[in-house]
Amino acid sequence: MRRSLRCAPPAVLVALLALLARAAGGAEVSIELQSPITWSETPVILSVRIVNPERGTGRPELPAIDGVLVRGPGGPSQQTSVVNGQVSSLLEYHFELTPLPNRKGRFTVGPVTVPRQGRPPLKSRTVELRVCLKPPPGILFEASVSPAGGPVGAPFQLVYTILYTGELNDGSGDPFSGAPPFGIGHLGIPVLQHPGLKLKPVRVRLDQDAVEGRLPVGHDEVHLQLQRGFAERPDGTGYKTLVFGFEVTPLVTGPVAVGGAEVKLQVLTGKTVLRRDLLFARRVPEVVAYSAIASDLAYEVRPLPEEGRPPGFTGAVGKYSIQVAASPTEVKTFDPITLEIRVSGTGILEELKAPAWSEVPSLTRDFDVATDTDPGKVEGAVKVFVHVVRPRHERVAAVPPIPFPYFDPEAQRYQVAQSSPIPIKVQAVKTVGAEDAIPSARSALPDPARAAKDRPAPAIQELAGVGANFDDLGDARPALDPRDEVFSAGFAAAVALPPALLAVLAAALRILRADSAKRRRARALSRASAAIAAARGFGDIARACEDYCREKLGLPPGEVTPADLAAALEARGVPEAARSRALGLLERVHASRFGGGGEPLAAFGAEAREALEEVDACVRG
């Protein structure tokens, strides 16, 4: 239960407070500045609170402060509370502190002394007042990056600071005023449209709360985390600040321009103006709109080092861990086992690519590993890849640790995350060959000695004596020799006809497939051109170029290497100059997977189309 009592008659109240103070305990005094920072000639209020004052408690006394005009104390305001049976009382006074003109620095305020009748006075602690020079009207807009440069894929922090004086026209006093959020009437941040950067709004000062808001930036709305503060310049002038920032991950190498942002801020002047509408005239706060542009700023993006790059590295930058689940874990030899590979970490999961696990020696020693590459899918804070392996023999006891190589930007070196081994049971399966499944014609032939022994006796009509007693015994039955059946015309036709029909069908399918492949090769350039025109990033152009090389030159699935492309172009009779340009394009395509070449996306796409058109003109069929 809580009760409050405010009284006007001082004599009655002081007597009541004295009685309550005895019940509540000893008196205490505390002081607090309305703002620890102010400008010269701009007053600030010092509050003095006396808890549980006693009878005979006097008014607080504040020592003089050199360079600051002190007025007061004003008050008191009085309050008594009862909370859960505990009584407390409060007296509050106010002093007005006004720094003198052109005075700046740090000033010690206090201690405040409160005299008491018949007892020692109460004393408060001291507080510090920071005084700055007030700058001329207007605003400043600044941008900064930290650090100044780093490897491709490593995030850095981009911070924007709006510096102003006065109060913002943010509608805090009138929600129906139509004032823009935080007083920001316009905000332009060109770096948000950079195709080679990934930006995420962040809280800049981790020890300070942020106010979240959506602000119009160009034609879009951006979710920002804004923080208010105060900044003092080297010349002693002080500004109020609005700070917001981004975590930026570069996907291209070279210098990246991150400056050139602009802002329009609405500030209250402290005055009022007369506004007339159709029926009434009323006074409203006067608002001034200021504009500012942040200076040019560049961040240097370095390519990843070649030294120490582990096998299978696909451009992952950050810190990652890997977990693998296998299903099923009890199989027969050469049965498929599906591996669900879950990668989590601090990098951009959408950009992660699966390593070539079919080239991992510890895995391929005992398993047949699928060579296809799963693009993976993002599930919350994890990217999931699926891969299939098949154990080669029953001695396999576990799926070995699966590696995931990455570059750690903090440690500035390559690392390899490893999963835990997964125990499995593999059952042996007897394999049979063609000789065991289908007996050969030689093994079906009878033994010559046995055939002579089992040869039937001559026909009766050919014997003397008895044959004269019979007119006709018919023809002798033919021998059941397997060789006679194998070499008979009917058996030979039954055996030879199906393969002949299959050969004819295969030839027809080969012709149709060749025509289909020829049509795909003919359309390869148009598909690649369309994909390049619709590309939103360097990775899309890279995929379009590699798809064209595989379709037009008949290269196998997977990554197209310079050696494969050079051999295919030379075999197709492509001139050396055209081969050199195509190989140069492929190297830049590979570089784009680890950051690109730093040039504009449109120029890179146009150059890629020209190189593919030149190859297409040299390759026939």
Q: What is the DSSP string of 414-440?
A: EEEEEPPPEE-EEE------HHHHS--
Percent of the chain residues topping a pLDDT of 70: 81
Q: Is residue 477 part of a domain?
A: no
Residue 129: the pLDDT is 95
Q: Are residues 520 and 405 in the same domain?
A: no
* Cβ atoms within 10 Å, residue 377: 12
Q: How far is CA 175 from CA 213, 285, 289, 455, in A?
A: 16, 14, 19, 118
Out of 241, 271, 302, pick the residue that ends a domain: 302
- How many domains, in total, are found in the chain? 4
Q: Is residue 126 part of a domain?
A: yes
Q: Is residue 254 part of a domain?
A: yes
Q: Rounded CA gap, 164 and 262, in Å? A: 14
Q: Rounded CA gap, 253 and 463, in Å? A: 106
Q: Are residues 160 and 288 in the same domain?
A: yes
Q: Rounded CA gap, 254 and 231, in Å? A: 33
Q: Are residues 120 and 159 in the same domain?
A: no
Q: What is the largest CA-CA distance in the chain?
A: 169
For 359-430, list the strands marked E by DSSP: 367-369, 377-379, 382-391, 398-399, 403-408, 413-418, 422-423, 425-427
CA angle 421, 426, 428 (to 5 degrees): 155
Domain of 593 in residue numbering reads as 509-618
Q: Are residues 245 and 150 in the same domain?
A: yes
> In this structure, what DSSP letter does residue 405 have?
E
Which two tokens mark 114?
Answer: 């409160």
* pLDDT tens string 282-340: 788 889 999 999 988 899 999 989 889 888 888 888 889 999 999 999 999 999 999 99
Give the distance from CA 221 to its chain's centroid. 20
Q: Is residue 297 part of a domain?
A: yes
Q: Is residue 405 part of a domain?
A: yes
Q: At residue 139, does pLDDT exceed 90?
A: yes
Q: How far is CA 316 from CA 81, 153, 384, 409, 593, in A?
A: 62, 8, 14, 10, 10
Angle between helices 601-618 and 538-553 (to 10 degrees): 10
* pLDDT tens string 103-133: 999 999 999 999 998 889 999 999 999 999 9
Half-sphere exposure of 206 (CA within 13 A, CB side): 0
- The pLDDT-based confidence of 505 (bands split at 50, 70, 90) is confident
What CATH number is given to the structural domain containing 515? 1.20.120
Q: Are residues 336 and 293 in the same domain?
A: no
For 6-126, list the strands marked E by DSSP: 28-33, 37-39, 44-51, 68-83, 86-99, 105-109, 113-116, 119-123
Q: Is residue 313 part of a domain?
A: no
Residue 456: the pLDDT is 56
For the entire predicted model, the pTM comes to 0.56
In this structure, are residues 399 and 422 in contact, taking their beta carbons and an 8 Å threshold?
yes
In this structure, are residues 106 and 68 in contact, taking their beta carbons and an 8 Å threshold?
no
Q: Are residues 93 and 216 in the same domain?
A: no
Q: Are residues 113 and 150 in the same domain?
A: no
What CATH number is given to the structural domain containing 105? 2.60.40.10
Q: At residue 5, does pLDDT exceed 60?
A: no
Q: Are residues 292 and 155 in the same domain?
A: yes
* pLDDT tens string 552-602: 887 777 677 777 888 888 888 888 888 888 888 777 776 665 554 456 777
Q: Is residue 480 part of a domain?
A: no
Q: Are residues 298 and 185 in the same domain?
A: yes
- Taking 3-state DSSP, the helix, strand and coil percentages for the chain, each rounded to the nearest 5, stand at 25, 40, 35
Residue 63: the pLDDT is 94
Mapping DSSP to helix (H, G, I), strand (E, B) and coil, where does residue 353 land? coil
Which two tokens mark 595?
Answer: 């950051």
Out of 410, 426, 442, pick the residue that ends a domain: 426
Q: Is residue 484 part of a domain?
A: no
In this structure, are residues 544 and 532 in contact, taking their beta carbons and an 8 Å threshold?
yes
Q: Are residues 596 and 614 in the same domain?
A: yes
Out of 267, 302, 337, pick the residue that ends a domain: 302
Nearest alpha carbon to residue 18 among 113, 91, 92: 91
Q: Are residues 185 and 275 in the same domain?
A: yes
* pLDDT tens string 74-83: 989 988 887 7
- The pLDDT-based confidence of 485 (bands split at 50, 70, 90) is low
Q: Are residues 120 and 197 in the same domain?
A: no
Of these ranges, 407-411, 498-502, 517-521, the one predicted with the greatest mean pLDDT is: 407-411
